[in-house]
Amino acid sequence: MIPATHYLIVSGALFAIGILGLFLRRNVLLILLSIELMLNAANLTLVTGAAVHGHLDGQIIAFFVMVIAAAEVTIGLAVTVLLFRKSESVDTEEITWLRG
């Protein structure tokens, strides 16, 4: 059996990749993707925890996260489409209308 530590390492790595993607990528689509990656890293942790403790709460919360992720991506993609329509670009460098 694979020890829980391995799962957590994979989860941490996924989260790190996701957060770096969030900070560094300039494409809105890829940023959304990075967020999905982070959410799934969290899911992996939750499921691991559930398995370790032999408790179903973690799995249930993982399902909630999936639902929220689905909703989030729906809105995120819709916003992206609108952004593209408005500024012909999905590059965050160019979308800085809220500069003070």
Helices (H), the chain: 4-24, 28-53, 57-87
Residue 73 within binding range of another protein, rule CB under 8 A: no
CB of 90 to another protein, least distance (A): 11
Pick one of 10, 19, 30, 90: the residue that binds another protein (CB under 8 A): 19
What secondary structure, in 3-state letters, does 35-50 show? HHHHHHHHHHHHHHHH
**In angstroms, rounded to a whole number, what is the distance separating the alpha carbons of residues 27 and 17?**
15
The yes or no reply on residue 17 touching another protein (CB under 8 A) is no
Within residues 24-63, the interface with another protein by CB under 8 A covers 24, 26, 31
- Smallest gap, in angstroms, from Cβ of residue 2 to another protein? 28
CA distance 26 to 56: 38
Contact stretch for another protein (CB under 8 A) within 8-16, 17-25, 39-47, 62-70: 17-25
